[in-house]
Chains A and B, each alone.
Chain A
């Protein structure tokens, strides 16, 4: 069982907007930044969002992040087929003294 909770799957049609949630606690999301990683099939995870809502260079502005209390969300607008991937949230956990991940969300573009 992962420390951070994500829905196992999400889906949408091209052009649609979808959101992926990530739920934690006061020791992780509630007191630290949230990060999102995108893992395309057969590849290593790649940083998608840092410090809750900051996009690294090269990440389209179709991707956005938000955080409120002990939960965070990743939104993808204008969904495209190349967005099909696994998405993971992560945050530092003060109690465990280490980073923790969500279980991952498999995004399918129908």
Chain B
């Protein structure tokens, strides 16, 4: 049973960089069958796809986040990570990591439990 777990600071100051890591257990991020994704949910709002990474290191991201997103993968630690630069209060959200099929895409299963990141001084 594949499980994902997010970790990282729960509080980030405005203009700084949000950094989160997703640790995968029961499966391998080196699999060529999946993409590894980040999705967020602002308090009381809906889901927004942030971006994803393939085991090869190839990445995709939501154009709405422009060039603020950096996603990386560490196959030796079976982890993948998210960096979101120049954060503002609008980036306050619960951040989830999830596994996505390759293809078809949009098939997120499983999800991590999520971690709340608050952007505040």
Contacts and interface: CB of A to CB of B under 8 A. Distances in A.
B46 A98 contact: no
Interface string B36-56: 000000000011110100000
Interface residues of A, number: 26
Contacts, number: 65
A56 interface: yes
B74 interface: no
A88 B96 CA distance: 15
B36 to A, nearest CB: 13
Interface string A14-30: 00000000000000000
A35 B112 contact: no
B108 A35 contact: yes
A79 interface: no
Contact of B105 (A43, A47, A99): A99
B93 to A, nearest CB: 13
A110 interface: no
A22 B63 CA distance: 23
B107 A100 contact: no
B47 A44 contact: no
A63 interface: no
Contacts of B49: 98-101
A101 B111 CA distance: 15
A23 B111 CA distance: 24
A98 B47 contact: no
A91 interface: yes
